[in-house]
Amino acid sequence: MRPRTDVPGCREVPGRSTAADDFWRWNEHCARVALRASRDQSARTVGVVIPSDDSTGARPLRVLALLDLFCPPGVVVRAVVPTGSAALTASIERWHAGARGGVVSVDVKHDPAPFGFARRINMGASLLLDARADVDAILLANDDTAPTPAACARLATWPTHNALVGAVSNAGGGGLQTVDAPSGVPSAGGLIDCPHRLGGFFLYVTRDVWTTLDGFDEDYAGYGCDDTAFSLDAHALGARILIDPFAFVWHEGSATFGPSAIPDLHPKALAIFHRKHPHIARYTRPLRLPPSLTS
């Protein structure tokens, strides 16, 4: 079986065709597992936040279109795109007018301040949670991601209380290190307990956890470490930190079959992280936590 090279995340790289084949077979398996599991799950409303500065709208529209096409009937998606680009509103409104209906609403929130991942995530989540009492969870989706049909279907199976759930990406820069050596084996629902960091590229947070923590820590300007800090704070509150090995999400920033395009974490973000989490001696991938935090 050869991979379809027109699918994001399935392009071939010289010398890596076996990896591409393996990925596509695994994704097809994940899709079958996900669709079987989603049939018996209760309905839920997911508020999706896609921070973006893409003035063309192509990147956030890709995420929205995939969610619109592949989310199962029981999942209602309401989306917000916090952006520094005033040009995004018209293109997203045009797209939504012809959408299938999986994404029932999408708003664009203009933010003229310099890009700050945590601030824009909080801005979008607040807009969703303040306006909609029916939103069960917040899904943070980078605009450089492309959720597979399996990842969209798995949204119907994730908890609606006291949990964070992370997806799996490539094994390079932003990928499988999000699993961070999980403990135990998958539960009946296929989720793995993972009391370490979860990557923020595609991160599902139940409403109760989000509101208790009051969102991401906005001291982290730009990007970097904010998702790790959020995971640690949620774990300290007793929330379940879970990874779903059947939810594969292509991540452009860390190319699925190529080198990572994401530079090293900003030194300022690392300094803030270590000041706020002095019990963690070194920020590594995977994150090495003291035994007291991994039990």
CATH number, domain at 96?
Answer: 3.90.550.10
User: Residue 262 has what pLDDT?
Assistant: 55
Instruction: Return the H-helix or E-strand segment holding 270.
Output: helix 267-276
User: Residue 39 has what pLDDT?
Assistant: 61
Report strand pairing: 44-49 vs 75-83. parallel
Residues 241-263, buried b or exposed e (16+ Cβ, 10 A)? Answer: bbbbbbbbbbbbbbbbbeeeebe
| Structural domain contains residue 128 | yes
Q: Whole-model pTM?
A: 0.81
| Structural domain contains residue 153 | yes
Phi and psi, residue 98, nearest 5°: -110, 15
Indicate the number of domains in the chain. 1
- Domain of 155, in residue numbers: 25-294
| Structural domain contains residue 11 | no
Closest CA to 157 of 229, 71, 230, 225: 71
Task: Fill in the DSSP letter of residue 265.
Answer: P
| Residue tagged 């050869």 (tokens) | 2
Q: Are 228 and 219 in contact (CB under 8 A)?
A: no
Q: Are 166 and 199 in contact (CB under 8 A)?
A: yes
| Structural domain contains residue 7 | no
| Structural domain contains residue 127 | yes
| Structural domain contains residue 88 | yes
CB-based contacts of 25: which residues, under 8 Å, 6+ apart?
A: 1
| Structural domain contains residue 164 | yes
Residues 66/166/264/218 CA torsion (nearest 10 deg): 90
**142-179: per-residue pLDDT in tens?**
998 888 888 898 898 899 999 999 887 754 433 333 33
| Structural domain contains residue 246 | yes
Instruction: Give me the amino acid identity at 225.
Output: C
DSSP letter string, 12-66: --TT-HHHHHHHHHHHHHHHHHHHHHHTTSPPEEEEEE--B--TT-HHHHHHHHH
Q: Which residues of the chain have pLDDT under 70?
A: 1-42, 170-189, 195-197, 222, 253-266, 281-295
